[in-house]
Amino acid sequence: MKRKLMITVLVLCLSLSIALPASAAETTSAQNSIKQIQMTHVNVPFTNESVDQVGQASTKDAVVINGITNYLYPTFDDLDSALVKLKSKIPDYYRLVEKQVDLTEAYDRLYTEY
């Protein structure tokens, strides 16, 4: 169970920090086909057995491009509580995230509080 939780949280964290670059030709073509783009706030619950053990998560924002809604990444609804639970349930993974990600910059607070 801990391994499954760790893998799920790792995938979520990595997906937040990794983006595949698009080639210049693909970018130009995509830019030319965009007629309308807007950001919107949404509240779409994200359920996953492993993530639910750490805290509730939801997708809070979306980008609407030419009328098609593209949901952004889900985030924890109560980040403080999720970090405390993550640290207590799988401290080794928490330390790995702590080394790889500047939590102070990401969350605009000192992560050492947790």
Tell me the pLDDT tens digit for each residue of 6-48: 556 655 555 555 444 444 556 666 667 888 889 999 999 999 9
Would the pLDDT of 110 be above 70?
no
CB atoms within 10 A of CB 94: 21
Q: Answer whether 0.85 is exceeded by the pTM.
A: no
Running DSSP on this structure, what letter comes out for residue 111?
G
Percentages (nearest 5) of helix, strand, coil residues in the chain: 55, 20, 25
Running DSSP on this structure, what letter comes out for residue 14?
H
pLDDT at 36: 87
pLDDT at 86: 87
Between 65 and 7, name the one with better pLDDT: 65
- Element at 45 (helix H, strand E): strand 37-46
